[in-house]
Amino acid sequence: MKILFATSECYPFLKTGGLGDVAYALPKALSAMGEDCRVIMPNYGTIKKEYKDKMTHLFSTTLKVGWREQFLGVEYLKKDGIEYYFIDNMYYFDREAPYGYFDDGERFSFFSSAILEILTRIDFVPEIIHCNDWHTAVVPVLIRTKYKWEKQFANVKTILTIHNLRFQGVYPPSVLSDLLGLGTELLQDFGFEYFGNVNYMKGGVNFADMVTTVSPTYAEEIKTEFFGEGLHGLMQKVSYKLVGIINGIDYSINDPRKDKDIPVNYGLKNVEKKYEVKKALQEELGLEIRQDVPLIGIISRLTDQKGFDLIAHAMEELLKNDIQLVVLGTGERRYEDMFRYFSFKYPQKVSSNITFNGPLAQRIYAGTDMFLMPSLFEPCGLSQMMALRYGSVPIVRETGGLKDTVAPYNKYTGEGIGFTFTNYDSYDMMQAVHRALELYKDKEAWRGIVLAGMRTDYSWKSSAREYLDLYKRLST
């Protein structure tokens, strides 16, 4: 099948979170199954020169954005068998970060329009356009309205995957005519209307042929007021076309047997070597070098979503235990400062790394004993799967993808691969931490849970198959 995967980020060109991982791994898994899945993303100024140098320029033209004509260039790169298209416009995309600008609404409506515009000019007409999050959510609307008359789009089906419903892209009604060239009739419930404004995500959900989220539990949760971010009514309305498919992780990148970012490789057969990684990590981070102390890892965006107010509340109590904590993340200032404070107060016990560092993340997955992820909500979560793959036992709240991927440990049967709690409550979280610390003392049982986690299969194999079945169902 011919599939175009439209995304605002894609590893290794640009990644800020899970979407970047998915945009790399899912097309790769689909290609391995013999499908022609290509990826389209913005040509950000921060993409490394080694990739930019290899891109070939396909063509340039202009695109109407309201009353303006903007430059539109198309670069092309084939990497590891996957074909990538990069949409060029320095004014929109040559910035320090991919998101967080006053004109994000304009930048991504430009990108979305550009996707359809270039499809009328390149020799590739997909059967499916797979859009992701609000950044490309207007594509399903454009294709059924403004581009309705383009013959080659008549049979193209669209899927919109919601990676995180918190981010919806809400802008004033003027964007319809100013940026998208659409009429105000779309400012209604069947279109974009959201409290008098334009909501890109809502438009996409209404117009896409199929809507998916990244775990079955999250697909149910977003139909409720607590998780629905103001769109729970819409999610209930579209439940006939809403499904949850769990993400996977790329098993060739995330492989403790081959990972070049970790100092010692290990696998199921020689898992004790993991302790050499732990020692090296303690040394690298200036923590006390001790094999017997449980080392807990956190790798995350430092935001409310990830449960940091629970951690903030429990930090002193957590650190009363004989543990070490390593944190890698950036985000809200109050959490960054909180971790800085605790590593200042307990330099031998807490290491705070307030930065984004891919190789260090791999060393933390590999070098830690436990991985803490007490999210308030979690559409899927990839970090817990990476932790499992590297033998770091997850401690998670039972929500979204965390619930779907981390089976709780049962001390009577020895089944389960992590420690979980239900209520969003720091006391409950600490109970789960204490259960983990208790089991850690029993070396044999601990080895069992580590190996059970490493044996789970969260590769893309079965999820890619589910997407393919969906594509096929849609296009027949």
Report whether 393 contacts 453 (CB < 8 A).
yes
Q: Tokens 């890892």 sit at which residue?
A: 297
Report whether 394 contacts 416 (CB < 8 A).
no
Judged by CB under 6 A, which of 356, 398, 425, 448 binds ligand ADP? 356
Q: Side chain identity at 200, as an amino acid letter?
A: Y
In the stretch 17-56, what mask flags binding to ligand ADP with x, by CB under 6 A?
xx--x-----------------------------------
Count, residues in the chain:
476
- The total of other beta-carbon atoms located within 10 Å of residue 13's CB is 23
CB of 436 to ligand ADP, least distance (A): 19
Alpha helices in 72-199 (DSSP H): 90-93, 104-119, 139-144, 175
Q: Which one, 20 or 191, has the nearer CB to ligand ADP?
A: 20
- Is residue 381 at the binding interface for ligand ADP, with CB under 6 A as the rule? yes
In the stretch 296-335, what mask flags binding to ligand ADP with x, by CB under 6 A?
---xxx--------------------------xxx-----
SS3 304: helix
CB of 150 to ligand ADP, least distance (A): 34
Report whether 88 contacts 67 (CB < 8 A).
no
Query: Does the annotation flag 15 for ligand binding?
Result: yes
Per CB under 6 A, the segment of 139-147, 203-211, 263-271, 357-365 that binds ligand ADP is 357-365
Per CB under 6 A, the segment of 13-21, 113-121, 256-264, 434-442 that binds ligand ADP is 13-21
Q: Nearest to ligand ADP by Cβ — which residue? A: 18
Which distant-in-sequence residues (6+ apart) come within 8 Å of 433 by Cβ?
Answer: 296, 318, 321, 372, 395, 419
Best CA proximity match to 417, nearest among 379, 386, 456, 390: 456
Judged by CB under 6 A, which of 382, 395, 396, 464 binds ligand ADP? 382
Report whether 162 contacts 401 (CB < 8 A).
no
Count residues binding ligand ADP (CB under 6 A).
18
Judged by CB under 6 A, which of 30, 361, 370, 388 binds ligand ADP? 361
Binding site listing for ADP-alpha-D-glucose: 15
Please report, as ranges, the residues that interact with ligand ADP according to CB under 6 A.
17-18, 21, 299-301, 328-330, 356-358, 361, 380-383, 386
